[in-house]
């Protein structure tokens, strides 16, 4: 017997893959077909690289250890990812002038401008969707999605 909660859960399970695909398409992972593009985002990015770019756009430059923790990965894996992004001109590394052992990682200038435009566009779309549901408790929705994400990550680990 389908209960209202079961029906809502089933509907959410139908929407989540579409949301994932829509977020992927909206992310700056490659230029539009036929577009001339010589910038750092030329060619496809992996999902992990896109996550790193959005993370850096959201939190700004940070020490490599904080970046690894924010990405939920090891320092070695984060360093390898950063190296690939540096080679593409998307990310820059810089040593702390007061402690050369600390390396900061942040978006390169051109990549930051492109990512900021995409993030601003996503922000506008989220706000427009929220406007369709004025009584929605946004904080609860965000907490729910964060909890769901953590549970799914834990089951796949």
Domain boundaries along the sequence of the chain: 43-131
- Model confidence at 2, pLDDT cuts 50, 70, 90, reads low
| Residues 84-132 pLDDT 10s | 999 999 999 999 899 988 999 999 988 888 888 878 888 899 999 999 9
Determine the average pLDDT of the residues in 48-70.
Answer: 91
Residue 32 has pLDDT above 70, yes or no: no
Q: Where are the alpha helices (DSSP H) in the chain?
A: 4-26, 47-59, 64-71, 75-87, 109-131, 138-156
β-pairing, 62-63 vs 91-95, is unpaired
- Percent of residues, the chain, with pLDDT higher than 70: 85
Residue 21: its pLDDT value, please?
Answer: 81
- Model confidence at 26, pLDDT cuts 50, 70, 90, reads confident
Q: What would be the CATH architecture of the domain defined by 43-131?
A: Orthogonal Bundle (1.10)
Determine the average pLDDT of the residues in 129-136.
Answer: 95
90 in Cβ contact with 79 (< 8 Å): no
Residue 144 has pLDDT above 70, yes or no: yes
User: CA angle at residue 27 from 41 to 109, to 5 degrees?
Assistant: 45
Q: Tell me what the pLDDT averaged over the chain comes to.
A: 85
Residue 130: its pLDDT value, please?
Answer: 95
């Amino acid at each position: 017997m389908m209960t209202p909660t079961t029906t809502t859960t089933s509907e959410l399970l139908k929407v989540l893959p579409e949301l994932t695909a829509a977020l992927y398409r909206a992310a700056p992972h490659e230029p539009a077909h036929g577009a001339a593009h010589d910038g750092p985002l030329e060619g496809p990015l992996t999902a992990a690289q896109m996550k790193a770019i959005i993370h850096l756009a959201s939190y700004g430059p940070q020490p490599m250890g904080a970046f690894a923790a924010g990405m939920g990965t090891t320092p070695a894996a984060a360093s390898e990812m950063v190296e690939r992004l540096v080679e593409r001109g998307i990310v820059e590394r810089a040593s702390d002038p007061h402690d050369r052992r600390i390396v900061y990682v942040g978006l390169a200038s051109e990549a930051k401008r492109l990512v900021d435009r995409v993030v601003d566009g996503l922000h506008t779309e989220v706000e427009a969707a929220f406007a369709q549901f004025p009584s929605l408790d946004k904080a609860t929705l965000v907490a729910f999605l964060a909890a769901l994400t953590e549970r799914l990550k834990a089951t796949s680990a």
